[in-house]
Amino acid sequence: MTEMTRGIDEFRQESIKKLRAISSEPLREYMELFSAATGMSKTHALTNAFEFNSKRKENLHLLEEYISRRCMGVPLPYITGLKGFWKTEFLVTTDTLIPRPETELLVELILSEHKRKNLKILDLGTGTGAIGISIAEEKPNWKIIATDISLLALKTAKINSRGLKNINFVQSFWLNSIKASFDIIVSNPPYIRRNDPHLKDLSYEPRIALEGGEDGLSPAREIIRTAKSNLVEKGHLYLEHGYDQKNAVIQILQEHDFCAIRSYKDLSGHDRVIRANS
Protein backbone atom coordinates (compact mmCIF):
# COMPACT_ATOMS: atom_id res chain seq x y z
CA MET A 1 0.00 0.00 0.00
CA THR A 2 1.47 3.39 -0.96
CA GLU A 3 1.05 6.62 0.96
CA MET A 4 -1.52 7.68 -1.63
CA THR A 5 -3.95 4.84 -1.10
CA ARG A 6 -4.17 5.41 2.61
CA GLY A 7 -6.43 7.98 4.19
CA ILE A 8 -5.33 11.53 4.91
CA ASP A 9 -5.78 10.86 8.65
CA GLU A 10 -3.21 8.15 8.61
CA PHE A 11 -0.88 10.18 6.41
CA ARG A 12 -1.11 13.09 8.83
CA GLN A 13 -0.43 10.93 11.87
CA GLU A 14 2.60 9.32 10.29
CA SER A 15 3.96 12.66 9.11
CA ILE A 16 3.61 14.19 12.57
CA LYS A 17 5.37 11.18 14.06
CA LYS A 18 8.29 11.65 11.64
CA LEU A 19 8.48 15.38 12.37
CA ARG A 20 8.42 14.75 16.12
CA ALA A 21 11.91 13.22 15.78
CA ILE A 22 13.40 16.61 14.87
CA SER A 23 10.92 19.20 16.09
CA SER A 24 9.26 20.17 19.35
CA GLU A 25 6.32 21.54 17.36
CA PRO A 26 5.52 18.73 14.88
CA LEU A 27 1.86 19.68 14.47
CA ARG A 28 2.57 23.34 13.68
CA GLU A 29 5.30 22.30 11.25
CA TYR A 30 3.00 19.78 9.55
CA MET A 31 0.37 22.50 9.13
CA GLU A 32 2.89 24.91 7.58
CA LEU A 33 4.32 22.29 5.25
CA PHE A 34 0.81 21.15 4.27
CA SER A 35 -0.17 24.70 3.41
CA ALA A 36 3.03 25.31 1.40
CA ALA A 37 2.60 22.07 -0.58
CA THR A 38 -1.14 22.25 -1.25
CA GLY A 39 -1.89 25.96 -1.36
CA MET A 40 -4.69 25.31 1.11
CA SER A 41 -4.91 27.10 4.45
CA LYS A 42 -3.09 25.70 7.48
CA THR A 43 -6.36 24.77 9.18
CA HIS A 44 -7.23 22.51 6.25
CA ALA A 45 -4.30 20.37 7.33
CA LEU A 46 -6.40 19.22 10.27
CA THR A 47 -9.53 18.34 8.32
CA ASN A 48 -10.31 15.61 5.84
CA ALA A 49 -11.24 18.13 3.15
CA PHE A 50 -8.17 17.06 1.23
CA GLU A 51 -9.13 14.30 -1.20
CA PHE A 52 -6.77 12.14 -3.17
CA ASN A 53 -7.88 13.19 -6.65
CA SER A 54 -5.18 13.31 -9.31
CA LYS A 55 -4.23 16.98 -8.87
CA ARG A 56 -4.17 16.55 -5.14
CA LYS A 57 -1.91 13.52 -5.43
CA GLU A 58 0.79 15.76 -6.89
CA ASN A 59 0.41 18.10 -3.93
CA LEU A 60 0.69 15.17 -1.56
CA HIS A 61 3.87 13.96 -3.26
CA LEU A 62 5.26 17.45 -2.76
CA LEU A 63 4.22 17.38 0.89
CA GLU A 64 6.00 14.03 1.35
CA GLU A 65 9.13 15.52 -0.17
CA TYR A 66 8.90 18.58 2.11
CA ILE A 67 8.52 16.36 5.16
CA SER A 68 11.52 14.25 4.25
CA ARG A 69 13.65 17.38 3.63
CA ARG A 70 12.56 18.74 6.99
CA CYS A 71 13.45 15.41 8.64
CA MET A 72 16.92 15.72 7.12
CA GLY A 73 17.32 18.97 9.06
CA VAL A 74 16.53 21.64 6.46
CA PRO A 75 15.08 24.60 8.43
CA LEU A 76 11.33 24.94 7.92
CA PRO A 77 11.49 28.48 6.44
CA TYR A 78 13.88 27.30 3.72
CA ILE A 79 11.22 24.77 2.64
CA THR A 80 8.14 26.96 2.88
CA GLY A 81 10.08 30.09 1.80
CA LEU A 82 8.45 32.10 4.58
CA LYS A 83 9.14 33.23 8.13
CA GLY A 84 6.90 35.40 10.30
CA PHE A 85 8.59 38.42 11.92
CA TRP A 86 6.91 41.28 13.76
CA LYS A 87 3.59 41.68 11.89
CA THR A 88 4.44 40.23 8.48
CA GLU A 89 5.59 37.09 6.75
CA PHE A 90 8.98 37.53 5.11
CA LEU A 91 10.22 35.70 2.07
CA VAL A 92 13.46 33.90 2.97
CA THR A 93 16.02 32.25 0.72
CA THR A 94 19.25 30.42 1.46
CA ASP A 95 21.00 33.75 0.76
CA THR A 96 19.38 35.31 3.82
CA LEU A 97 19.49 34.61 7.52
CA ILE A 98 16.17 33.34 8.86
CA PRO A 99 14.81 36.19 11.03
CA ARG A 100 14.81 35.26 14.73
CA PRO A 101 12.08 36.21 17.21
CA GLU A 102 14.66 37.80 19.56
CA THR A 103 15.52 40.34 16.83
CA GLU A 104 12.01 41.78 17.20
CA LEU A 105 13.40 43.41 20.36
CA LEU A 106 15.32 45.88 18.16
CA VAL A 107 12.10 46.88 16.39
CA GLU A 108 10.16 47.11 19.64
CA LEU A 109 12.78 49.32 21.33
CA ILE A 110 13.17 51.71 18.41
CA LEU A 111 9.39 52.12 18.08
CA SER A 112 8.85 52.66 21.81
CA GLU A 113 11.84 54.94 22.48
CA HIS A 114 11.39 57.35 19.56
CA LYS A 115 8.28 59.44 19.04
CA ARG A 116 9.55 62.15 16.68
CA LYS A 117 7.77 62.42 13.38
CA ASN A 118 10.57 62.50 10.84
CA LEU A 119 13.46 60.23 11.66
CA LYS A 120 16.11 58.77 9.41
CA ILE A 121 17.07 55.18 10.17
CA LEU A 122 19.87 53.03 8.80
CA ASP A 123 19.53 49.22 9.03
CA LEU A 124 22.93 47.58 8.43
CA GLY A 125 23.08 44.01 7.11
CA THR A 126 19.35 43.81 6.53
CA GLY A 127 19.16 40.26 5.08
CA THR A 128 15.46 39.63 4.40
CA GLY A 129 14.81 43.26 5.34
CA ALA A 130 12.98 42.18 8.51
CA ILE A 131 14.13 45.01 10.81
CA GLY A 132 14.02 47.91 8.34
CA ILE A 133 10.76 46.86 6.68
CA SER A 134 8.98 46.28 10.01
CA ILE A 135 9.96 49.79 11.14
CA ALA A 136 9.05 51.31 7.75
CA GLU A 137 5.61 49.70 7.91
CA GLU A 138 4.94 51.05 11.39
CA LYS A 139 6.26 54.56 10.69
CA PRO A 140 5.34 55.81 7.21
CA ASN A 141 6.91 59.23 7.95
CA TRP A 142 10.31 57.82 8.85
CA LYS A 143 12.86 57.26 6.09
CA ILE A 144 14.79 54.02 6.17
CA ILE A 145 17.89 52.95 4.28
CA ALA A 146 18.69 49.23 4.52
CA THR A 147 22.05 47.82 3.45
CA ASP A 148 23.60 44.46 2.81
CA ILE A 149 26.84 43.29 1.23
CA SER A 150 24.91 40.52 -0.56
CA LEU A 151 23.05 41.55 -3.70
CA LEU A 152 21.01 38.36 -3.49
CA ALA A 153 19.86 39.26 0.03
CA LEU A 154 18.99 42.78 -1.17
CA LYS A 155 16.92 41.31 -3.99
CA THR A 156 14.89 39.31 -1.46
CA ALA A 157 14.57 42.32 0.85
CA LYS A 158 13.27 44.45 -2.03
CA ILE A 159 10.60 41.87 -2.81
CA ASN A 160 9.63 41.86 0.88
CA SER A 161 9.28 45.65 0.89
CA ARG A 162 6.80 45.67 -2.00
CA GLY A 163 4.74 48.83 -2.02
CA LEU A 164 6.59 50.60 0.79
CA LYS A 165 7.75 54.06 -0.29
CA ASN A 166 9.84 54.97 2.76
CA ILE A 167 12.56 52.31 2.52
CA ASN A 168 15.45 52.09 0.08
CA PHE A 169 18.16 49.48 -0.33
CA VAL A 170 21.88 50.00 -0.86
CA GLN A 171 24.71 47.52 -1.27
CA SER A 172 27.38 48.36 1.28
CA PHE A 173 29.98 46.72 3.47
CA TRP A 174 28.74 48.10 6.78
CA LEU A 175 29.07 51.91 6.50
CA ASN A 176 31.61 51.99 3.66
CA SER A 177 29.24 53.22 0.94
CA ILE A 178 27.01 55.36 3.16
CA LYS A 179 27.39 59.13 2.97
CA ALA A 180 24.28 60.48 4.74
CA SER A 181 23.69 61.01 8.47
CA PHE A 182 21.01 59.20 10.44
CA ASP A 183 19.15 59.62 13.71
CA ILE A 184 19.34 55.90 14.38
CA ILE A 185 21.65 53.15 13.16
CA VAL A 186 20.42 49.62 13.89
CA SER A 187 22.01 46.28 13.14
CA ASN A 188 21.80 42.59 13.86
CA PRO A 189 25.31 41.81 12.61
CA PRO A 190 26.85 38.33 12.44
CA TYR A 191 28.18 37.63 15.95
CA ILE A 192 28.89 33.93 16.37
CA ARG A 193 32.54 33.00 17.11
CA ARG A 194 34.42 31.29 14.29
CA ASN A 195 35.00 28.15 16.38
CA ASP A 196 31.59 28.04 18.05
CA PRO A 197 30.24 24.46 17.71
CA HIS A 198 26.75 26.02 17.42
CA LEU A 199 27.65 27.07 13.84
CA LYS A 200 27.38 23.41 12.77
CA ASP A 201 23.68 23.41 13.67
CA LEU A 202 23.19 26.44 11.45
CA SER A 203 24.89 24.99 8.37
CA TYR A 204 21.96 25.72 6.04
CA GLU A 205 22.16 29.46 6.66
CA PRO A 206 24.73 31.75 4.99
CA ARG A 207 27.88 31.74 7.10
CA ILE A 208 28.56 35.35 6.14
CA ALA A 209 25.37 36.31 8.01
CA LEU A 210 26.29 34.38 11.17
CA GLU A 211 30.02 34.31 11.78
CA GLY A 212 31.63 37.40 13.24
CA GLY A 213 35.32 36.44 13.15
CA GLU A 214 37.47 34.91 15.86
CA ASP A 215 35.65 36.42 18.85
CA GLY A 216 32.37 37.07 16.99
CA LEU A 217 32.77 40.81 17.42
CA SER A 218 34.53 41.92 14.21
CA PRO A 219 31.34 43.29 12.60
CA ALA A 220 30.23 45.04 15.83
CA ARG A 221 33.72 46.57 16.14
CA GLU A 222 33.64 47.82 12.54
CA ILE A 223 30.14 49.30 12.97
CA ILE A 224 30.99 51.01 16.27
CA ARG A 225 34.31 52.33 14.92
CA THR A 226 32.63 54.06 11.98
CA ALA A 227 29.07 54.78 13.22
CA LYS A 228 29.66 58.29 14.57
CA SER A 229 30.47 59.73 11.15
CA ASN A 230 27.00 58.65 9.98
CA LEU A 231 25.05 59.63 13.10
CA VAL A 232 23.60 63.05 13.89
CA GLU A 233 24.69 64.62 17.18
CA LYS A 234 23.15 62.56 19.98
CA GLY A 235 22.15 59.92 17.45
CA HIS A 236 21.38 56.38 18.61
CA LEU A 237 23.04 53.07 17.83
CA TYR A 238 21.16 49.80 18.49
CA LEU A 239 23.04 46.51 18.18
CA GLU A 240 22.01 42.90 18.71
CA HIS A 241 24.74 40.69 20.18
CA GLY A 242 25.38 37.19 21.54
CA TYR A 243 24.11 36.26 25.02
CA ASP A 244 27.65 36.51 26.50
CA GLN A 245 28.93 39.56 24.58
CA LYS A 246 27.29 42.40 26.51
CA ASN A 247 30.38 43.54 28.43
CA ALA A 248 32.66 43.26 25.42
CA VAL A 249 30.30 45.40 23.31
CA ILE A 250 29.97 47.97 26.11
CA GLN A 251 33.75 48.19 26.30
CA ILE A 252 34.07 48.81 22.55
CA LEU A 253 31.36 51.49 22.76
CA GLN A 254 33.18 53.21 25.64
CA GLU A 255 36.45 53.11 23.73
CA HIS A 256 34.70 55.10 21.00
CA ASP A 257 33.15 57.61 23.43
CA PHE A 258 29.54 56.48 23.14
CA CYS A 259 27.42 57.46 26.12
CA ALA A 260 24.05 56.64 27.73
CA ILE A 261 24.77 52.95 27.13
CA ARG A 262 21.89 50.66 28.02
CA SER A 263 21.49 46.90 27.75
CA TYR A 264 18.28 44.94 27.21
CA LYS A 265 17.36 41.28 27.66
CA ASP A 266 15.36 39.22 25.18
CA LEU A 267 12.26 37.19 26.10
CA SER A 268 14.43 34.22 27.11
CA GLY A 269 16.20 36.45 29.65
CA HIS A 270 19.49 36.69 27.68
CA ASP A 271 21.37 39.98 27.28
CA ARG A 272 20.65 40.64 23.61
CA VAL A 273 20.60 44.32 22.63
CA ILE A 274 22.65 47.40 23.45
CA ARG A 275 21.67 50.98 22.80
CA ALA A 276 24.13 53.88 22.95
CA ASN A 277 24.19 57.58 22.10
CA SER A 278 26.82 59.26 19.94
122 Cβ neighbours under 8 A, 6+ residues apart: 144, 145, 146, 147, 178, 182, 184, 185, 186, 230
265 near ligand GLN, rule: CB under 6 A: no
Asked if 133 contacts 195 with a C-beta cutoff of 8 angstroms, the reply is no
Q: What is the 3-state secondary structure (H, E, C) of 185-252?
A: EEECCCCECCCCHHHHHHCCCCHHHCECCCCCCHHHHHHHHHHHHHEEEEEEEEEECCCCCHHHHHHH
* Nearest distance in Å: CB 212, ligand GLN: 7
* Beta-sheet pairing, 167-171 with 231-240: unpaired
Kind of pairing, strands 271-277 and 259-265? antiparallel
100 lies in the site for ligand GLN, by CB under 6 A: yes
Candidate ranges 23-31, 42-50, 174-182, 188-196; the one touching ligand GLN (CB under 6 A): 188-196
Query: By CB under 6 A, is residue 96 in contact with ligand GLN?
Result: no
Q: Does 192 bind ligand GLN (CB under 6 A)?
A: yes
Taking the C-alpha atoms of residue 157 and residue 176, their distance in angstroms, rounded to an integer, is 20
Residue 96 CA, chain-centre distance (Å), reads: 8
- Strands 167-171 and 182-187, bridge-based pairing: unpaired
Site for ligand GLN, residues 208 to 227, rule: CB under 6 A: 210
Our finding on whether 78 is near ligand GLN (CB under 6 A) is no
Per-residue binding string, ligand GLN, 146-185, x by CB under 6 A, is ----------------------------------------
188 counts as binding ligand GLN under rule CB under 6 A: yes
Residue 190 engages ligand GLN in binding (rule: CB under 6 A): yes
Which is closer to ligand GLN, CB of 183 or CB of 240? 240
Q: How many CB atoms lie within 10 A of CB 190?
A: 20
Nearer to ligand GLN, 142 or 212 (CB): 212
Q: Of the two residues 186 and 210, which places its CB atom closer to ligand GLN in the complex?
A: 210
Nearer to ligand GLN by C-beta: 74 or 202? 202
Contact footprint for ligand GLN (CB under 6 A): 100, 188, 190-192, 202, 210
